[in-house]
Amino acid sequence: MVKIVDKEPAKAHIAADVANSQAEQSAPLEAEIWQTCAELADFLVAKNRAYGNSAAAQVGIFAKRFDTLAQIDVRIDDKLSRLKRGHEYPGDDTVKDLAGYLVLRMAVQSHETQEARELGSAESAASVRKTLEQAAAGSWTVPAEGEKESQ
């Protein structure tokens, strides 16, 4: 007689053992990741203060044609070019600078996305307010299908 064994509890136990083993192995690296990120954050904040928030609010004397993200992308390209050619300046940490620019890019992009959401919400609220005011004054009508609203 063949005994049928439920394999699901065994699979769950093995998966839990693997997860615990991976967590134990990655724990020392996790501490290094947190430490490195904290040091990079301190570095970025200090640089940002020293340069007067120039990454997010450029003065635009020569580079007026580029938006903030494009200007950060140029800085990233410059760093990658130096890294590729092996032409680092003495005392520079190109990898650290590159990591910093990538974090700045993410922060600026997140900030711009949030501003766009807030602007969109404000514009939507203004549009609703205008429609309600027009409706109250009797000057707004429901547009026919395919017809645009009157402004």
DSSP 50-80: HTTSTTTS---SS-TTS-HHHHHHHHHHHHH
In a domain, 20, yes or no: no
* Residues 43 and 99 sit within 8 Å (Cβ to Cβ): no
pLDDT in tens, the chain (151 residues): 444 555 566 666 666 666 666 666 667 789 999 999 999 999 999 988 888 887 777 777 777 777 888 888 998 999 999 888 888 888 888 889 999 999 999 998 988 888 777 777 766 666 666 766 676 776 656 666 666 655 4
pTM above 0.85, yes or no: no
Specify the number of domains making up the chain.
1
In a domain, 23, yes or no: no
* Residues 112 and 69 sit within 8 Å (Cβ to Cβ): yes
Give residues with Cβ within 8 angstroms of 80, minimum separation 6: 98
In a domain, 147, yes or no: no
In a domain, 59, yes or no: yes
In a domain, 10, yes or no: no
Domain ranges, residue 115? 36-135
Give residues with Cβ within 8 angstroms of 95, minimum separation 6: 83
